[in-house]
Structure 1
Amino acid sequence: MNTLIHHSENRGHVKIGWLESKHSFSFGNWYNPKYMGVSALRVINDDLINGHNGFGTHPHDNMEILTCVLKGAISHKDSMGNAGKISAGEWQLMSAGTGVQHSEINEGDETVHLLQIWIIPNIRNAEPTYQQIQRNPQDQPNEWHLIAGPEADAPMHIRQQTEVKTAVLNEDKQLDVQSKYGVNYIHIIEGEVEFNGQIGRAGDALISTDNGPLKALKNSQFIWFDLPVQ
């Protein structure tokens, strides 16, 4: 397939009081049948959460829920007994399995910026699990950092034939994109990159079954989802 661009301006934009969010795919009250996910990737919500607000206790099941905090810290609490903060540069993976209830609250004064990502699992009704790691690509730019994968030795184990990697890439540097599972979805957090002749900017995503070099035209940060063909 040719490399496609999911432009930032085509994301859903929702602003309700304490929450401002941009939805890459249909979510909640924002629905667009053109944007229902790619392969097993179902949700990327780019959230700004005002101080002393957040998502109260609510349930999930049979979903791999990945949180990437970009600025600030969010307080997490769940029915598995986990409680604590997820700070900028940290990642959380909650495999909801048979069911879990959780809350995510910004207990501070400053706005928290995070990405909430949902991936459909390939195993249903498994025991819920919780994982959290520190992995800030700003500390080691110009290389891939594996966040989650299906292998036992991955930093966080995900119940899907999917790898999630992130990187910060300095201007004119490049990284190789070689898919294991068949579909590349590259979400650009900031900057400007080129992949297979297409240019993506902050908030855009590049989608392709082709591999090749990913080049930064400006200092950039992004997440690469290596997804199964479905």
Structure 2
Amino acid sequence: MKSTFYPANGRGTSDHGWLKANFSFSFAGYHNPDKVHFGALRVLNDDIIAGGTGFGTHPHDNMEIITIPLQGALEHKDSMGNIGVIHAGEVQVMSAGTGVEHSEYNHSKTEPANTLQIWLLPKFRNIAPRYDQRDFKNAFKKNEFTTLVTGDKNVDALWINQDATFSIGEFDAGQTIIYDIKNQGNGAYIFVLEGVVKINDQLLNKKDALGVIDTSSITIDSQANTRLLIIEVPMLQ
């Protein structure tokens, strides 16, 4: 097993007043040649959006876009005719495919929203654009992972155009957690949303991450009450 540590304080940052962003990988004005992507994982932005503000209509193509609100809610509108609100506990996926335009705004006029905006490079290019979202609040079980997103249509989760799996879980302190790689050859990007974990003697605190490759399973020891997001992706060059 090989691993790369991505400390929270090593992320790129941007402060536009209405938007405070942390970039795990090169994005917009932040460029780090050592942090361009982790396999098919191209973007992981940890955004705090002020009340009454957001991203105006803008285009995407040939990218798999996953939105996970951690706090608050976002209003979504796109050129496919989808209009709605996505809350914390829900997940949104969008295959931009041949091209789509969308906007995202904080649903609250006064309270900030904290959202993870994640982009994956697609498995197949120029597919028809598609959109989906799901409420997972009743699916979560303590000390277990819940699959949110997958490229396997046989799994009860949101589908995307990539051989990837997104799993999230809340774990009590003192738990030993085994994560099994779903697709042979995939790597796993382990992102600590809350708490503290140890993986192969590497301690990870809140918003730290560890990229792991060349293994079929990962053992994670929770050092405190912890919430984890694992993004498993093909290790594209």
Identical residues among aligned pairs (%) = 39
2:136 corresponding residue in structure 1: 135
For structure 2, the residue ranges without an aligned partner over 5 or more in a row are none
Give the TM-score normalised by structure 1: 0.96
Distance in 1 (alpha carbons) for counterparts of 2:211 and 2:60 = 28
Q: Given the superposition, is the C-alpha separation of residues 112 and 138 from structure 1 closer, same or farther in structure 2, using an over 3 Å criterion? A: farther
Q: Tell me if the contact between 1:69 and 1:91 (Cα under 8 Å) persists in the aligned partners.
A: yes
Q: Given the superposition, is the C-alpha separation of residues 137 and 202 from structure 1 closer, same or farther in structure 2, using an over 3 Å criterion? A: farther
1:166 corresponding residue in structure 2: 168
1:23 corresponding residue in structure 2: 23
1:224 corresponding residue in structure 2: 230
SS for the counterpart of 1:9 is helix
Does residue 8 of structure 2 align to residue 5 of structure 1?
Answer: no
For structure 1, the residue ranges without an aligned partner over 5 or more in a row are none
2:114 corresponding residue in structure 1: 113
Aligned residues: 230
Q: Quick check: 187-196 or 48-57, which moved more?
A: 187-196
Q: Tell me if the contact between 1:138 and 1:168 (Cα under 8 Å) persists in the aligned partners.
A: no
CA-based RMSD: 1.4
Per the TM alignment, residue 78 of structure 1 is displaced from its structure 2 partner at its CA by 0.4
Distance in 1 (alpha carbons) for counterparts of 2:107 and 2:135 = 20
Q: Given the superposition, is the C-alpha separation of residues 148 and 122 from structure 1 closer, same or farther in structure 2, using an over 3 Å criterion? A: same
Q: Which runs of 4+ in 1 moved over 3 A?
A: 136-139
Q: Tell me if the contact between 1:187 and 1:224 (Cα under 8 Å) persists in the aligned partners.
A: yes
Q: Tell me if the contact between 2:140 and 2:169 (Cα under 8 Å) persists in the aligned partners.
A: no
Q: What are the Cα deviations for residues 78-114 of structure 1, in whole angstroms up to 9, with x where unaligned?
A: 0111101000111000110000000000131100011
178, 181, 187: which one aligns with 1:176: 178
Distance in 1 (alpha carbons) for counterparts of 2:112 and 2:56 = 17
Q: Given the superposition, is the C-alpha separation of residues 199 and 138 from structure 1 closer, same or farther in structure 2, using an over 3 Å criterion? A: farther
Per the TM alignment, residue 9 of structure 1 is displaced from its structure 2 partner at its CA by 1.0
Q: Tell me if the contact between 1:91 and 1:135 (Cα under 8 Å) persists in the aligned partners.
A: yes
SS for the counterpart of 2:159 is coil
Distance in 1 (alpha carbons) for counterparts of 2:171 and 2:147 = 15
Q: Tell me if the contact between 1:3 and 1:196 (Cα under 8 Å) persists in the aligned partners.
A: no
